[in-house]
Amino acid sequence: MDWNSVDDSSFRAHIAEFVRAHCPRELRFPKRRLRLAEVRDWYKALSNAEMLAPAWPARYGGMGLNPSKTLVYLEAMEASGAPRLPDQGIINLGPLLIKHGTEQQRAYYLPRILSAEHIWCQGYSEPNAGSDLASLRTTAVLDGDEYVVNGQKIWTTWAYDATHIFALVRTDAGVAKQAGISFLMLDLAQPGITVRPIETLMGHAEFCEVFFDNARTSKSNLVGEPNQGWTVAKALLGFERIWAGSPRQAQQLLGQLRQYVMQAELQHSATVLDRLTQFEFDVADLQACYARFAVVVGRGEPLGADVSILKVWATETCQRIAEYFVEVAGDLATIQGDVAFAGGTVDVLTPYLDSRSFTIYGGSSEIQRNILAKSVLNLPV
């Protein structure tokens, strides 16, 4: 079906109905990142309906959505409460292979992503090279027809359930930092790779460390040209930042705060109403900012360095709302999980703890401000 010809309202309604029909209610609006075993059936339902990969061309098993319709798809999924899948293969690697990969790489890897045979994770951040990817030290040395990889990745989301990893590695130490990086794909089920979960503040092992000790991968698993991995990887960063800048999280958190204010009968407090109004304006401004960049994506144009403001604005707005929620809720904020209150339930601590990482992942706020200062304002950094 040519989904691009369907009006946005009807398309949103179709997505919402599909979620209601195929995604179990207990999986919707999760408070933690769900494991593969929990969402595998939902993954398969989307794949069987050819609705798993919105931005992939139809000839590769995707929906063939244009950039504007892809944003509508993502917004509709968020609004319906559909849980996020282990989707690094879908939203990152798949489009990258379609644009920069070989036909052999596409023919082998894309069907296995759609079938959930291959689950991918992203090997970018390292100790002392998190948001500053150009400083990474994991090496890959060509040995015959294979690269030998040594080093460590950290904060690797979904590595505990992944079968494969795509990683930035240093293949030439004798050139400028960005110039000596390559983009490699590796099978995690081999000797020499160790995956160690990292427990978060909320007690969930969402992230992992990945250690490479003479791990090997065929040179056919190099994406793009040797030492051109930085150029390949940058194609992913703009989309990652507009994803992280979605207003949906802030809208949901503000809705929870509003509900608590009504339950606690604080709606007549001038102080509370003042802060609530400030947050309403902050979220409205975020929505307007997001809409501006969505228009650029909708036109199929590349995002500029100014998209960094969206990531800063969205994540810091969420943190401010979560912090005030804790402040106004008092003792209720000392207990994690649903707490009985005023004839209903409230969970204050979970979104607060969850929000601590928002300004770190996808490029920290400090790095984003440096990008804005250097590339938008032309200031020295």
Write the CATH number for 315.
1.20.140.10
pLDDT tens digits, residue range 97-148? 998 899 999 999 999 999 999 999 999 889 877 666 778 899 999 999 999 9
Same domain, 138 and 169: yes
**Comparing 311 with 238, which gets the higher pLDDT?**
311
Do the domain assignments include residue 237?
Answer: no
What confidence tens digit (pLDDT) does each residue in 145-166 have?
999 999 999 989 889 999 999 9
Residue pLDDT, tens place only, 8-57? 999 999 999 999 999 999 999 887 888 999 999 999 999 999 999 998 99
Choose, from 75, 240, 323, 327, the residue flagged as catalytic: 240
Burial of 209 per CB tally in 10 Å (0-12, 13-18, 19+): middle
Predicted pLDDT at 122 = 93
- Predicted confidence (pLDDT) per residue in 50-99, tens digit: 999 998 999 999 999 987 888 889 889 988 999 989 999 998 899 889 98
Q: Which of 67, 85, 103 is the last residue of a domain?
A: 85
Using CA atoms, how far apart are residues 57 and 19, in angstroms rounded to an integer?
A: 22
Q: Residue 299's pLDDT band (boundaries 50, 70, 90)?
A: confident
Q: In this predicted structure, what is the pLDDT of residue 240?
A: 66
Contacts of 108 (CB under 8 A, 6+ apart): none
Mean pLDDT in residue range 292-321: 86
Which DSSP string corresponds to 260-290?
HHHHTT-TT-HHHHHHHHHHHHHHHHHHHHH
Write down the pLDDT at residue 158: 86
Residues 6+ apart with CB under 8 A from 381: 370, 373, 374
* 295 lies in some domain: yes
Query: pLDDT tens for residues 167-203?
Result: 999 999 888 777 899 999 999 999 999 999 988 777 7
Residue 100 lies in a domain: no
Q: Which pLDDT score is estimated for 159?
A: 92
Residues 252 and 370 in one domain: yes
Residues 249, 132 share a domain: no
Do 181 and 269 fall into the same domain?
A: no
Q: Are residues 274 and 226 in the same domain?
A: no
Claim to verify: residue 64 and residue 156 sit in the same structural domain: no
Contact 315, 365 (CB under 8 A): yes
Residue 239 has what pLDDT?
61
Average pLDDT over every residue of 288-296: 85
Both 259 and 338 in one domain: the answer is yes
pLDDT at residue number 131? 63
E-only strand ranges, the chain: 120-123, 139-143, 146-153, 164-170, 181-187, 193-198, 207-218, 222-223, 339-341, 344-346
Does residue 78 lie in a domain region?
yes
3 state DSSP class of 216? strand
Around 282, how many Cα atoms within 13 Å sit in the side-chain half-sphere?
22
Locus of tokens 């940058």:
234
What Rg do the C-alpha atoms of the chain give, in angstroms?
A: 22
**For residue 225, what are its two tokens?**
């040209």
The region of weakest confidence among 4-18, 252-266, 293-307, 334-348 is 293-307
Amino acid (one-letter) located at 364: S
Domain co-membership, 290 together with 226: no
Question: Is residue 364 domain-resident?
Answer: yes
Cα distances (Å, whole numbers) of residue 282 to 42, 180, 308: 34, 41, 17
Residue 212 has pLDDT above 80, yes or no: yes
Structural domain for 257, as ranges: 245-376
> What is the pLDDT at residue 233?
78
| Boundary-marking domain end, from 174, 207, 232 | 232
Give the pLDDT confidence score for residue 228 in this predicted structure: 87
Instruction: Please tell me whether residues 221 and 307 are part of one structural domain.
Output: no
The CATH number covering residue 213 comes to: 2.40.110.10
Determine, yes or no, domain membership for 111.
no
240 labelled catalytic: yes
Question: Is residue 165 domain-shared with residue 70, that is, in the same domain?
Answer: no
pLDDT tens digits, residue range 217-234?
A: 999 999 999 998 888 877
Q: Which long-range contacts (CB under 8 A, 24 or more apart) does 350-354 make?
A: 350/31, 350/202, 351/31, 351/253, 351/256, 351/322, 351/325, 352/322, 352/323, 352/325, 352/326, 353/200, 353/201, 353/202, 354/31, 354/202, 354/322
Query: Is 101 part of any domain?
Result: no
Domain assignment of residue 107, yes or no: no
d(CA 108, CA 121): 17
Residues 217 and 265 in one domain: no
Domain boundary among 63, 85, 107: 85
Contact 123, 54 (CB under 8 A): no
The mean pLDDT value for 286-302 works out to 81
3-state secondary structure of 121: strand
* pLDDT of amino acid 357: 85
Number of structural domains (the chain) is 3
Helix axis angle, 67-79 relative to 8-22, nearest 10°? 40
* Domain match, 329 and 225 both: no
| pLDDT score of 345 more than 90 | no
